[in-house]
Amino acid sequence: MLTIAVDAMGGDNAPQCVVEGTIQTLRETDNRLEILLIGQEEKVQPLLDAHDTQGLNLRFMHAPEVITMTDVPAIAVKTKQNSSLVRGLLLCKEKKADGFISAGNTGALMAASLFILGRLPGVLRPTIAAYFPRLAPGLTNVVDVGANVDCKAENLVQFAEMLTIYQRDAADMEKPLTGLLNIGEEDNKGPEVLKQTYRLLKEADRKNKINFAGNIEGNDILSSKVSIIVCDGLVGNTLLKFGESIPEFLSSIFKPSLKELVVSGKLDPEAAELTGSAFKKMFKPFDVERFGGVPFLGVDGISIVGHGRSSAKAIMNMIYMAEHMIEKKVNQHIAEALAVT
Amino acid sequence: MLTIAVDAMGGDNAPQCVVEGTIQTLRETDNRLEILLIGQEEKVQPLLDAHDTQGLNLRFMHAPEVITMTDVPAIAVKTKQNSSLVRGLLLCKEKKADGFISAGNTGALMAASLFILGRLPGVLRPTIAAYFPRLAPGLTNVVDVGANVDCKAENLVQFAEMLTIYQRDAADMEKPLTGLLNIGEEDNKGPEVLKQTYRLLKEADRKNKINFAGNIEGNDILSSKVSIIVCDGLVGNTLLKFGESIPEFLSSIFKPSLKELVVSGKLDPEAAELTGSAFKKMFKPFDVERFGGVPFLGVDGISIVGHGRSSAKAIMNMIYMAEHMIEKKVNQHIAEALAVT
């Protein structure tokens, strides 16, 4: 039976949502997994007591410290060795857990994962991807979204290779297509590092390690043209945060004008409510909850990070993601593909 | 009297919209300017004949060749010396025109401007900015959006300096605030080149050349926090194209659900139409028409490029922008500020 360690203290809604997500997962899966919940006893135990946890494969482990969302990652990891985040990863390292999930401080999780779990053989730099909206079925991952800046061509190519394996194994996509995010489609476009990356991606395609669609541009991101979009962490991180700010920006224009229509008597309140729902629904493709989180790919273990706003449902999906990645041997396949030959 | 050369053949709606915009400008300004319209006689003359142009300060100049939107800039500029785009810039160089505007091939306009007009003294690399939406009054420029990749720290700082002068002089903003687009707000964040840029921007701030707000992140772009956002052309170009793709992406979700509400009888058609208008209005801050175009800053002349979709109104605003930049001596101030001392 797999044991998944769960950071009870990670995320804006922790520990409440984490406890709920954990219990729901165990119920839904009929105890297929064991979950090891880690956090501050005084905060987590009362929440556990409020549920009927008898018969569930649930263990609790006390961790007195908490890494907060505002902690500086490198410092927090060093100084808060008794935090749920560090302890969870240590359990993975000691093979007492098969995977770890957290909706906490992303930077700290990456730093601690790299430090504690280490890299898989052949991996130059572990990476983190994000899910971007699309209309067509399937999924779009942008990689890297902030774990790595100053990426070399070799790093970017490995990101494409790792994501290809992840999408193939964990998302059951037969031939995930990779695009290189650039300022033009022609093969000689862009910064030097991307020209070089283009050539290496072509080569990786010839070796059947990836399926390369060539350069893509900013307006192709939402177009479902490719499922893997490769870029430096600076570009990916900026796009991710820019994209996340759009629903609120547009709502702050649309909602008042809808209200104005109601106040002026032009639109009846029921119609406004219906339209408001359609408007809200429109941002559903922006909602990453259905995926739960993203794995930190390339480390020697399973480490999954969720959005700070993660709900119980997101926590559940993160646990399932960990389970699925272990069962599908994603890390083993990455190590095989990237092994220096 | 100022003479503005106008590329009659540039843009998706050329020459129709360009001719209309030109004539409207001359009428609106009571012949304050002289406009020199350049293009293929067989296409432009019939359009001019359809209007009453008598008494307008309008001259027409035949240019047999056209640089299209799909032409490769560097090649087009070399091989199409008799195009409206090249001829217009040559007129500026020869001081027969005071400025040139075009809604044509942006890459070609930049290449030709650089080649024909040359750089202002002290300018390392001319740059092009874009207007981004904001809710607060004022404007947000992201710079660079594709003219320059592989930017050095010195280049990025000059972009900030040039935009500061442009916003101050041409947009009457008293103290334009600059933000450096990065993956985090702390001053030691990001790629090496941005760490160095951060230090140089601080220095430029101390010298009162710019007003530096520090690092900003992707979610600050739409927030009106700063009016100048500095980044490499790869980042800016990607953001611009990504942003431009969003209205269509969201409309393709919202419109069908609105239609569904009507078809199912839940929403009456009039209410749907009202809501549809509010929805459309929501994207108004994304509409750059009110600005018309953007100047290619740092070249020794006035060269303004508009969106391929430019309407007659956008053409008018581009002509006004050229006039305003000349009157406010933007280029002279850039040369003074950036002169190597």
Report chain A residues whose CB lies below 8 A from the CB of B246.
222, 246
Residue A305 is encoded by which pair of tokens? 């990070």
Query: CA-based Rg of chain B, rounded to a whole angstrom?
Result: 21
The whole-angstrom distance between B112's CA and the closest CA on chain A is 18
Q: Do A242 and B239 touch (CB under 8 A)?
A: yes
Angle at A203 between CA A197 and CA A204, to 5 degrees: 85
Q: Is the pLDDT of residue B290 over 70?
A: no
pLDDT band at residue A284 under the 50/70/90 scheme: confident
pLDDT digits (tens, 9 = 90+) for B208-238: 999 999 999 999 999 999 999 999 999 999 9
Interface A-B, measured as beta-carbon pairs within 8 A, has a size of 156
Residue A222 is encoded by which pair of tokens? 């939402």
Q: Provide ipTM, 2 decimals.
A: 0.93
Contact A254, A272 (CB under 8 A): no
b/e per residue, A164-195, with b = 16+ CB within 10 A? bbbbbbbbebeebbbbbbbbeeeeebbbebbb
Q: Could you tell me which chain A residue has the CA closest to the CA of B133?
A: A249
pLDDT for the residue A290: 67
Q: Could you tell me which chain A residue has the CA closest to the CA of B245?
A: A219
The whole-angstrom distance between B14's CA and the closest CA on chain A is 24
| Closest-CA residue to B147 (of B233, B232, B73, B72) | B233
Query: CA-based Rg of chain A, rounded to a whole angstrom?
Result: 21
Give every CB contact of residue A140 below 8 A, 6+ residues apart in sequence: A131, A132, A133, A134, A221, A222, A224, A226, A227, A228, A229
Q: Do B282 and A253 touch (CB under 8 A)?
A: yes
Q: Do A235 and B238 touch (CB under 8 A)?
A: yes
Please confirm whether the linkage preceding B15 is cis (ω < 30° from 0). Answer: yes
Report chain B residues whose CB lies below 8 A from the CB of A258.
275, 278
Q: Could you tell me which chain A residue has the CA closest to the CA of B188?
A: A72
Q: What is the mean pLDDT of residues B233-250?
A: 94
Report chain B residues whose CB lies below 8 A from the CB of A241.
217-219
What does the alpha-carbon distance between residue A102 and residue A129 come to, in Å, rounded to a whole number? 16
> Is residue A250 helix, strand or coil?
helix
In Å, how far from its chain's centre is CA B259? Answer: 36
pLDDT for the residue B99: 98
In chain B, how many H helices and how many E strands? 11, 11
Q: How many CB atoms lie within 10 A of CB B204?
A: 20
Q: Is the pLDDT of residue B287 over 80?
A: no
What does the alpha-carbon distance between residue B261 and residue A80 come to, in Å, rounded to a whole number? 53
Give every CB contact of residue B204 below 8 A, 6+ residues apart in sequence: B157, B160, B161, B210, B212
What does the alpha-carbon distance between residue B267 and residue B104 come to, in Å, rounded to a whole number? 43
Give every CB contact of residue B284 below 8 A, 6+ residues apart in sequence: A253
pLDDT digits (tens, 9 = 90+) for B48-97: 999 999 999 999 999 999 999 999 999 999 999 999 999 999 999 999 99
Q: Do B279 and A254 touch (CB under 8 A)?
A: yes
Phi-psi map region of B195: left, alpha, beta (phi>0 left; psi -120 to 50 alpha)? alpha
Q: Do B278 and A285 touch (CB under 8 A)?
A: no
Domains of chain A: 1-123+298-341 (3.40.718.10), 127-287 (3.40.718.10)
What does the alpha-carbon distance between residue A274 and residue B35 come to, in Å, rounded to a whole number? 52
Q: How far is CA A273 from CA A285, B34, B192, B283, in A?
A: 21, 54, 49, 21
Q: What's at B8, amino acid-wise?
A: A
- The owner of tokens 């702050």 is A252
Nearest to A183 among B221, B237, B279 (CB): B237
pLDDT for the residue B289: 66
Q: Do A218 and B242 touch (CB under 8 A)?
A: yes
Q: Do B281 and A234 touch (CB under 8 A)?
A: no
The residue among B224, B249, B252, B286 with the most chain A CBs within 10 A of its CB, best to mutate, is B249
Axis crossing angle, helix A153-170 with helix A312-327, rounded to the nearest 10: 100
Q: Is the pLDDT of residue A317 over 70?
A: yes
Q: Do A281 and B257 touch (CB under 8 A)?
A: yes
Nearest to B254 among A183, A266, A282 (CB): A282
Nearest to A235 among B219, B235, B285 (CB): B235
Report chain B residues whose CB lies below 8 A from the CB of A274.
261, 266-267
Report chain B residues whose CB lies below 8 A from the CB of A237.
183, 217-218
Report chain A residues whose CB lies below 8 A from the CB of B133.
249
Give every CB contact of residue B95 below 8 A, 6+ residues apart in sequence: none
Beta bridge partners of residue B180, listed in sequence order = B215, B230
Q: What percent of chain B has pLDDT over 90?
A: 87
Residue A325 backbone dihedrals phi, psi, to 5 degrees: -65, -35
Q: How many residues does chain A have?
A: 341
Tell me whether strands B228-230 and B140-143 are parallel, antiparallel or unpaired.
parallel
pLDDT digits (tens, 9 = 90+) for A203-225: 999 999 999 999 999 999 999 99
Q: Do A278 and B261 touch (CB under 8 A)?
A: yes
Give every CB contact of residue B309 below 8 A, 6+ residues apart in sequence: B11, B12, B13
Nearest to B253 among A232, A243, A282 (CB): A282
The whole-angstrom distance between A98's CA and the closest CA on chain B is 31
Nearest to B261 among A192, A220, A274 (CB): A274
Q: What percent of chain B has pLDDT over 70?
A: 99
pLDDT band at residue A289 under the 50/70/90 scheme: low
The residue among A148, A149, A251 with the most chain B CBs within 10 A of its CB, best to mutate, is A149
Q: Do A192 and B238 touch (CB under 8 A)?
A: no
Q: Identify the burial level of A37 via C-beta atoms within 10 angstroms of its C-beta, where 0-12 means exposed, 13-18 middle and 19 or more buried.
A: buried
Report chain A residues whose CB lies below 8 A from the CB of B125.
none
Please confirm whether the linkage preceding A15 is cis (ω < 30° from 0). Answer: yes
Angle at B271 between CA B270 and CA B275, to 5 degrees: 120
Nearest to A219 among B194, B242, B281 (CB): B242
DSSP category for residue B226: -
pLDDT digits (tens, 9 = 90+) for B116-160: 999 999 999 999 999 999 989 889 999 999 999 999 999 999 999
Average of per-residue pLDDT values in chain B:
94
Q: What is the mean pLDDT of residues B250-254?
A: 93
Of A110-119, B106-115, B305-314, least confident by mean pLDDT is: B305-314
pLDDT band at residue A341 under the 50/70/90 scheme: low
Residue A200 is encoded by which pair of tokens? 């290496």
Nearest to B183 among A133, A146, A243 (CB): A146
Nearest to A261 among B246, B250, B278 (CB): B278
What does the alpha-carbon distance between residue B131 and residue A214 come to, in Å, rounded to a whole number? 29
DSSP category for residue A131: E
Q: Is the pLDDT of residue A186 over 90?
A: no
Q: How far is CA B169 from CA A12, B172, B329, in A?
A: 45, 5, 8
Q: What is the mean pLDDT of residues A295-314?
A: 93
The whole-angstrom distance between B281's CA and the closest CA on chain A is 8
What does the alpha-carbon distance between residue B309 and residue B321 come to, in Å, rounded to a whole number? 18
| Whole-structure pTM value | 0.94
What does the alpha-carbon distance between residue A315 and residue B150 come to, in Å, rounded to a whole number? 40
